[in-house]
Amino acid sequence: MSDIRKAGKTSVAVIGAGHAGVEAALAAARMGIDTVLFTMSLDAIANLPCNPSIGGTAKGHLVFEIDALGGEMGRAADLVTLQSRTLNLGKGAAVQSKRVQADRKKYQSIIKHTLEQADHLRLVQSEIVEIGVETDENSKSRVASVTSRLGEKWQCDCAIIATGTYLESAIFVGNVSYEAGPDGMLPAKGLSASLQKIGVKLLRFKTGTPARVKRSGIDFSRLEEQPGEAPILPYSVLSDRKKLEELKQIPCHIVYTNAETHRIIRENIHRSAMYSGKIHGTGPRYCPSIEDKLVRFADKERHQLFVEPMGEDTEEMYIQGFSTSLPIDVQHQMLASLDGFENAEIMRYAYAIEYDCADPTQMNATLEFKKISGLFGAGQFNGTSGYEEAAAQGLVAGINAALKLKGEEPVVLSRASGYIGTLIDDLVTKGTNEPYRMMTSRSEYRLLLRQDNADRRLTPIGYRVGLISEERYQRFLTKIAEQEAEKNRLEETVLSPLIVNPFLKSMGETELKSGASIADLLRRPSVTYDKLAEIDTNRPSLTPEQRMNVEYDIKYAGYANRQLADVERRRKLEERRLPADIDYRSIKGLRIEAAQKLDQLRPLTLGQASRISGVNPADISVLLIYLGIR
């Protein structure tokens, strides 16, 4: 065994094996860096403690982007899909998002086995309670070690904190509260104090989960059935499309709260941990508890709930949208008030959970802490919510830890490159005062950031850092070349009214008076690439993904070009780096508030500086003048 592989020494220590920790550890290890992944329980690796689903609005985009960069979540999700649906099909392509119902235990098993088989990676069940930091001759701090509760000290060059909701976590059910992690696991104790000791500012957030109910106690005949869609679009280019096409999907169901449900909640709301004053952490705005929904949306007569399976080999059902911290007697009453749930049995009670996390403005866009070299944060530790947001950050943190140790330039994803870039930029420049959730509305470039073009945007980066194999990259280049050739053919091929008009008439579209290119026909709202096969018989054989990409590229070219022009206008600001030692308080003409914010957050570029709250366009003009005459 080489020195680096000896117990007590590694290059990268990853703390926590949730979705962020998994992606971070796999990325660093696959880039050839010796990595140790620490987890409090090997049985909790890649747990889905809340909703057993992967994807959703904007979250599906993140999963496609993770796969495009060489991450693991999409491939594993495809292997455990129980049902697949695309959300927002009635809207434009930019906001359409894939979501799968996942088999919870199978997902964990696949991820755990993947970690166990990975080269350069060790899995260790051990709780880390201390981060060791050293100071060099220039008074700069750097990570030197991590120490476990059992007293084992591991020397390391980088540490990635991905503690999820375990950090000093506490469970709340009515007036009962106790220290615990999700699903009754032990909480992580001691690490918060160590982080504060080395200067990390912590926040206190809250999230929650609904009860799990036994399938046999539900009368599904009184619920709305929600079938899956076919064909299934895979998350990962590595997935076996044929297996997904043969998948027998499990239906989900919809039920609604009613006047009786609302009466029970309102009469007992004072007993909710949220409203009794027991919970002090800030909860998620976009995934509120059912009692919070009734307060916020008092005029709504009912709320939609989704009844979803936890897996093929379990009777547990999840009720999405029914999260609560009300006491268990109220939970039973609430459940029985739902149509079809009069005889339902609760298998796991709903609860709220409070936990520590870091203020993400302490980090650079690489997710490395500005004042502690080698210390990275990822996932819910950075103040986000959701498995997908966590996995995306873990992947970036793992890549950048590996690049740092290799002495190579870090990966900093721009807002125009993907939702991952938007997510991280929002966190490190704006911060968050509540669990951050990715939504398509957060991106000003969402017309450019579709699910279907994630590989075109990010696979070259994954290839450059070593997470995309040569074979996969060559397949990617071939795919892109075929798509471009097809787009050119559609633009250049002109069809006569004699051929086109019967087709247009059948679709209720305005007929032509002169010839038109196939691309022009495709730009019509009701015309799709697949429908055009009726009159466009001399077309190449493309995959469903390629056909989708070609269609959307042509349909939205005008909008996309305008956004690309905007990206180009802003590029100069994004590329203009700010000196690390700049003294903002000494710059004449810079407002006091702007100087204070810039000094505190230390943005890397003028583009980042322009998005900081309290920094206005006049301040950016002052900085431009300052940098020009310096």
* SS3 label, residue 208: strand
Q: Looking at residue 107, what is its pLDDT?
A: 98
Residue range 149-190, pLDDT digits in tens: 999 999 999 999 999 999 999 999 999 999 999 998 999 999
Q: Is the pTM above the cut of 0.75?
A: yes
CB neighbour class for 562 (10 Å; exposed up to 12, middle 13-18, buried from 19): exposed
Q: Looking at residue 235, what is its pLDDT?
A: 97
Start-to-end Cα distance in the chain: 53
What is the amino acid identity at position 78? D
Locate all alpha helices (DSSP H) within 585-630, ordered by sequence: 592-601, 606-610, 617-629
Q: In the structure encoding, which two tokens stand for residue 349, read together?
A: 């009670």
* SS3 label, residue 612: coil
Residue range 403-438, pLDDT digits in tens: 999 999 999 999 999 999 999 999 999 999 899 999
Q: Look up tokens 């020195």; give the residue.
A: 3
Q: Which residues of the chain have pLDDT under 50?
A: 1-2, 630
- State the CB neighbour count (10 A cutoff) for residue 242: 8
- State the CB neighbour count (10 A cutoff) for residue 481: 10
Q: What are phi and psi of 90, to 5 degrees?
A: -80, -5
Q: Looking at residue 274, what is its pLDDT?
A: 76
Distance of CA 158 to the CA centre of its chain: 23
Tell me the C-alpha to C-alpha distance, in Å, between residue 256 and each of 53, 216, 302, 326, 420: 20, 19, 6, 19, 34
* SS3 label, residue 36: strand
Distance CA 130, CA 148 (A): 7
- State the CB neighbour count (10 A cutoff) for residue 479: 19
Distance CA 501, CA 156 (A): 69
Q: Looking at residue 630, what is its pLDDT?
A: 47
Residue 557's H or E segment, with its range, is helix 557-575
Cβ atoms of 457 and 68 within 8 Å: the answer is yes
Cβ atoms of 424 and 415 within 8 Å: the answer is no
What is the amino acid identity at position 468? I
